[in-house]
Structures are given as structure tokens and as C-alpha cells.
């Protein structure tokens, strides 16, 4: 049996143990992305590997496979994998950032309980590997529209980041040109648009962002590399307001929210390096350094005329690029632009 098939069998055993009614062929096909015949072969392998497996039909006459939960050593024998531990940590971070601290606390409690059931040597190894993977994951995913990515590509990148190994990718640039690149992967930036942070092996030594939706093929070379000890993914991410970064745009940002908008703005984290200043009239000034003027403009749009951009200086080309795609959907175009456009668009 191959390594991947053995992993699938263990995962199936987990499902058959965790689900009180057992697992059906349809559920197996959905979980593993396989056809009905492959799911049948997997159940035969389950019965052969675990003679204690119970097979019965449910109320809808669907056959189900179940493993008894009487032996707690099954969990200890399986352990908790680094990718599973990292997924729990990421879920807790998402809950914290989405304003659900109770959910975050419960996820961390589950994490600690699972680790407590493991032998200490296994737990330490899983925690160390999960921490390395988590550091490479950048930001937690944000809600909203996003590009659907190839799970195989993400799996290969996660494996390369853990090792770490260099990778060969087939990448489509902005002008449609496809080229093969040899990269040292350092992390992922997860958001509405997702990026791989990597350093080209043949280059100037600078880190680059590569859009994941433009990666057509990726392959692990098996050649390891030493990560730059002074590179910090969080600091690198903070160069941008969102996902996009440009050296030409990077600089100080200063926004002033009106006294009416200040109570709401005060609860926002616009940027990890932000500073907030209360003004005598009740207004709120937010200051940070970043690039990504277009993403800033899109965000400021929802604040309407309740925010004034003091820095960077107004740029006439921003207004049409933001307003034009949206305002035609509103009957009263002029009134829409006047009421909703931030003040610096009307200077």
C-alpha cells in the first residue's frame, strides 16, 4: 500500500470512529473526491485492516461502516498532525480577528486537550512543526470574494514551506507571458487575493509576491535551502495595506475621521502599525505607513464623506478608477458621487 493510500485509510478510520452512525459510501466519495467504486475498495480495505469494524444499514437502507470507540489508545496511536494543529491555531486566529473571542477560547481549549492526550515527545514535535507552518501562513483568511485555488497547489506549497524545499513553478505574468521560475518559498499571504512570498534563486535576493491564481504548475525540487534569519513575514506583509505592494506607493498614510465616525473607526485595526490620535473636537486621526492606494480607496469608499485623507496627497486618477465601475448602477449618478465619495475625491 502506498503512503498516500495508508494516510487515506487512517483518515477513513478516524471518520468511522468519530461518527456515531458510521460513514457511508457517499460520504467517503465526498470526503476523498473519489468515485463510488473507489469508495467501495476503501471500505474493503477498512474491514481488512480493522476486523472490529461494524457494517450495518441505516433507516434509509444505506450501508454504513463504524469502528467502536471503546479503545482510547486509538487517538494516542494516531497522534495529532502538525497540519491539523496549525489548522486549529489558524481557526482560533480567525475567530479572534472576526470578533468571536469565545469561539477562539474554545478552539484553543480543544487544541490543548488534544495535545494533553498525546505522549509528550509527539506533542512537542507536532507543536514545533505546526508553529513553523503557522508562521508561513501569513494572515488568516478574510471574508468576502476570493479566487478559488487548486487544492493540489496549496498542498505542494505547504509541504515545501515545512521542509523547506525550493520549488519550480510555471507562472503567468500580468502581460500573459508564461515562464518557469525556481523559487525559495517563505510564506503565504491569505486574503481576498492570495500571494506566495518567495525569493527567486536567480535574482537580486529580494522577496517577491506571486499571485497563487497565476501559478499553473508547481513542483518540489527536493533541494533544501536555508531561510534568511532576518526575514519576518509579518513585517513584510505590513508593507501593504491589503495584499498589493508597490515600492513607489509606500509612504506615510494619515486619515482623519469625523467626530460622528470616530466611535466606529476607533474599533478598527486598519493596519498592524497604526497609531490613533484623539482630537479636541472628537475627531480621530489614524497614521501608519503602507502602500496599496487602490485598496485603501476601496476601503475608504464605505466611509463616504466621514473621512478625510491628509496623506498621501490627492491623486486625480484615483477617483474615476473607483467611482466609474460602481456609480453607473445608481440612477442618480451625480448625487451618488457627491454623497459617498471621500472628501479628498472632491478636492
Q: How far apart are CA 281 and CA 301, in angstroms?
A: 23
| 115 and 159 Cβ atoms separated by less than 8 Å | no
pLDDT digits over 98-149, tens only?
Answer: 656 777 788 887 777 777 666 666 666 666 666 666 656 554 445 455 666 7
- Is residue 331 predicted with pLDDT exceeding 50? no
Mean pLDDT of the residues in the chain? 78
| Residue 15 pLDDT grade (very low, low, confident, very high; cuts 50, 70, 90) | confident
Establish how many alpha carbons lie within 13 A of residue 118's alpha carbon, considering only the half-sphere containing its beta carbon. 20
pLDDT of residue 185: 94
The C-alpha angle 278, 242, 244, rounded to 5 degrees, equals: 135
Q: What is the pLDDT of residue 71?
A: 53
pLDDT tens figures, 229-288: 899 888 888 898 887 788 888 999 999 999 999 999 999 989 989 999 999 999 999 999
Q: Residue 275 — φ and ψ, nearest 5°? A: -125, 140
The CA-atom distances, in angstroms, between 195 and each of 90, 161, 216 are 17, 14, 14
- The residues near 22 (Cβ < 8 Å, ≥ 6 apart) are 16, 54, 56, 64, 65, 66
* pLDDT tens track for 38-72: 999 999 998 888 888 889 988 888 899 988 865 55
Predicted pLDDT of residue 105:
80
Q: Grid coordinates representing 225?
A: 535551502
Structural contact between residues 228 and 187, judged by C-beta atoms closer than 8 angstroms: no
Residue 314 contacts residue 344 (beta carbons within 8 Å):
yes
Q: Which residues pair with 185 in a beta bridge?
A: 198
Residue 186 CB partners (closer than 8 Å, separation 6+)? 136, 161, 197, 198, 199, 207, 227, 228, 231, 233
Predicted pLDDT at 322: 47
Amino acid at each position: 500500500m502506498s503512503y498516500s493510500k495508508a494516510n487515506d485509510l487512517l483518515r477513513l478510520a478516524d471518520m468511522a470512529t468519530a461518527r456515531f452512525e458510521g460513514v457511508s459510501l457517499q460520504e467517503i466519495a465526498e470526503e476523498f473526491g473519489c468515485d463510488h467504486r473507489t469508495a467501495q475498495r476503501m471500505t474493503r480495505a477498512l474491514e481488512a485492516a480493522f476486523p472490529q469494524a461494524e457494517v450495518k444499514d441505516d433507516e434509509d437502507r444505506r450501508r454504513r461502516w463504524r469502528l467502536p470507540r471503546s479503545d482510547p489508545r486509538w487517538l494516542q496511536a494516531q497522534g495529532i498532525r502538525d497540519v491539523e494543529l496549525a489548522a486549529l491555531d489558524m481557526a482560533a486566529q480567525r475567530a479572534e480577528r472576526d470578533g468571536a473571542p469565545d469561539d477562539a477560547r474554545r478552539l484553543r481549549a480543544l487544541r490543548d486537550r488534544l495535545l494533553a492526550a498525546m505522549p509528550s515527545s509527539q506533542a512537542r514535535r507536532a507543536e514545533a512543526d505546526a508553529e513553523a507552518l503557522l508562521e508561513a501562513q501569513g494572515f488568516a483568511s478574510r471574508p468576502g470574494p476570493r479566487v478559488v485555488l487548486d487544492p493540489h497547489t496549496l498542498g505542494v506549497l505547504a509541504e515545501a514551506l515545512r521542509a523547506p524545499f525550493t520549488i519550480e513553478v510555471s507562472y503567468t505574468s500580468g502581460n500573459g507571458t508564461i515562464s518557469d521560475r525556481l523559487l525559495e518559498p517563505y510564506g503565504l499571504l491569505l486574503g481576498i487575493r492570495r500571494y506566495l512570498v518567495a525569493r527567486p534563486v536567480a535574482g537580486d535576493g529580494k522577496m517577491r509576491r506571486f499571485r497563487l491564481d497565476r501559478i499553473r504548475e508547481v513542483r518540489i525540487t527536493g533541494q533544501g535551502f536555508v531561510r534568511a534569519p532576518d526575514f519576518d513575514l509579518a513585517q513584510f506583509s505590513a508593507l501593504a495595506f491589503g495584499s498589493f505592494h508597490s515600492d513607489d506607493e509606500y509612504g506615510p498614510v494619515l486619515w482623519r475621521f469625523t467626530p460622528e465616525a470616530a466611535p466606529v473607526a476607533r474599533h478598527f485595526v486598519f493596519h498592524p502599525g497604526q497609531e490613533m490620535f484623539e482630537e479636541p473636537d472628537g475627531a480621530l486621526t489614524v497614521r501608519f505607513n503602507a502602500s496599496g492606494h487602490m485598496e485603501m480607496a476601496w476601503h475608504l469608499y464605505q466611509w463616504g464623506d466621514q473621512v478625510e485623507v491628509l496623506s498621501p496627497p490627492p491623486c486625480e486618477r484615483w477617483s474615476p478608477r473607483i467611482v466609474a465601475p460602481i456609480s453607473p448602477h445608481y440612477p442618480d449618478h451625480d448625487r451618488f458621487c457627491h454623497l459617498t465619495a471621500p472628501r479628498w475625491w472632491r478636492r
